[in-house]
């Protein structure tokens, strides 16, 4: 991760094919494009990759979450349970629909704690969204059980976990509807792009229409299509889809490289008694895009984080100090700093953030260090990196 590190003639040829053809829009212009449909081809490849019946490409991972929720009927005043550790896009996508993000604690998987989810359910709860952060997963069986018992929509944001699996099922394909991102720093990239994945035909049809101004896509004359309901523009372009079409065919290659590099570093750090690793649920396999480990306390984690930077170890983060991925510094959400008036339903629904604390999440995130696994590292570079990381941790923990 990310896929742009290994761009090749495969990506260039796909993009040049679109430019030579001249049709950059994914819909219409049937005569001009002469049978070239990159987005449709990519959707078909992703259906095989995710072992799912339906895939709808959209413009981003954020769009995928909003489209997925809207397609399942989530809207104004509905509560969507989500984790404290994620990317800001999670609550943005929920609020875009007028729905209310209900943040709850994570556990040692670094994803939703099923007990915290159960405790947060109210009469307004419509959906539960697990975010498969940093290449791994939550306890999907327990979360599914909670959703089924309360008749809630189960949403799986696997934007950071393509290539991972749980009990043989690809992450992103397990819940009622799944979401992926193909932005510039994902394991497979389109530059910008995302996907909604589902086996629910109604959700797919809704996503197909909603993401393109409500077009029903019936027939071959775009101008004659009807609009069964309101929609918006979340389309991907043929250029972006072309890049993704080349990249998705390389996913097994990318995952193998990530696993090799991840394993070298993990094996070295596992020798240190003070290092423990995130819990991967039984039957789960990470995508190996990140290596996440815990240190004994927040102070040690912060010192190690600083030592890594001083030693030239990049792309490692202590998310407790990060304002993109953890609730602690999301002041713009807590204070509802918006360019336009926020609805009363959302404003009232988010009042809980003024007094809510997340001690359990703090205990995990403050001690956690998350390290991106690059595709472009040589084995020599990975070995050197692993030794430097181990030396930094051992020096601070002695």
Q: Which residues have a catalytic role annotated?
A: 186
DSSP secondary-structure letter at 47? H
User: 177-181 and 276-277: which strand pairing?
Assistant: unpaired
- The CA distance from 283 to 285, in Å, is 7
Non-local (6+) Cβ contacts of 203 within 8 A are 54, 68, 71, 72, 176, 177, 196
Give Rg (Cα) of the chain: 21
DSSP secondary-structure letter at 329? G
Handedness of CA 208, 209, 211, 212 (dihedral sign): positive
Closest-CA residue to 304 (of 240, 164, 398, 174): 398
> Phi-psi category of 336—alpha, beta or left, where left has phi over 0 and alpha has psi -120 to 50?
left
Identify the three-state secondary structure at position 101: strand
DSSP secondary-structure letter at 387? H
- The CA distance from 156 to 167, in Å, is 15
131 neighbors 110 (Cβ within 8 angstroms): no
DSSP string, 56-90: EEES-HHHHHHHHHHHTT--TT-EEEEESBS-THH
């Amino acid at each position: 991760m990310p896929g742009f590190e290994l761009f090749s003639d495969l990506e260039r040829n796909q993009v040049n094919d679109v430019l030579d053809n001249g049709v950059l829009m994914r819909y219409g212009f049937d005569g001009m494009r002469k049978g070239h449909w990159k987005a449709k081809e990519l959707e078909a490849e992703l259906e095989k990759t995710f072992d799912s019946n339906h895939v709808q490409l959209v413009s981003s991972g954020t769009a995928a979450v909003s489209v997925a929720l809207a397609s399942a009927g989530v809207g104004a005043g509905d509560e969507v349970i989500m984790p404290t550790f994620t990317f800001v896009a999670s609550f943005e996508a929920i609020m875009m629909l007028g729905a209310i993000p209900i943040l709850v604690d994570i556990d040692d998987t670094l994803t939703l704690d099923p007990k915290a989810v159960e405790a947060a359910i109210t009469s307004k709860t419509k959906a539960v969204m697990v975010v498969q952060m940093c290449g791994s997963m939550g306890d999907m069986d327990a979360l599914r059980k909670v959703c089924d018992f309360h008749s809630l929509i189960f949403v799986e944001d696997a934007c950071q976990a393509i290539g991972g699996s749980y009990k043989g099922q690809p992450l992103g394909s397990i819940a009622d509807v799944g979401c992926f991102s193909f932005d510039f720093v994902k394991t497979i990239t389109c530059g910008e792009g995302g996907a909604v994945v589902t086996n629910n035909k109604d959700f797919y049809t809704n996503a197909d229409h909603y993401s393109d101004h409500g077009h029903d896509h019936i027939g071959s004359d775009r101008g004659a299509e009807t609009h069964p309901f309101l929609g918006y523009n979340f389309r991907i372009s043929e250029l972006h889809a072309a890049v993704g079409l080349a990249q998705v065919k390389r996913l097994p290659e990318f995952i193998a490289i990530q696993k090799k590099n991840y394993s070298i570093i993990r094996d070295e750090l596992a020798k240190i008694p003070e290092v423990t690793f995130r819990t991967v649920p039984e039957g789960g396999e990470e995508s190996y895009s990140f290596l996440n480990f815990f240190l004994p306390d927040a102070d040690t984690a912060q010192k190690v984080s600083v030592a890594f930077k001083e030693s030239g170890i990049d792309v490692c983060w202590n998310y407790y100090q990060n304002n993109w991925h953890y609730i602690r510094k999301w002041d713009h959400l807590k204070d509802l700093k918006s360019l336009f008036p926020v609805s009363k339903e959302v404003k009232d629904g988010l009042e809980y953030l003024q007094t809510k604390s997340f001690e359990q999440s703090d205990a995990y995130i403050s001690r956690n260090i998350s390290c991106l696994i690059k595709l472009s590292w040589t084995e020599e570079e990975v070995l050197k990196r692993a030794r430097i990381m181990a030396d930094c941790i051992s020096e601070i923990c002695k």
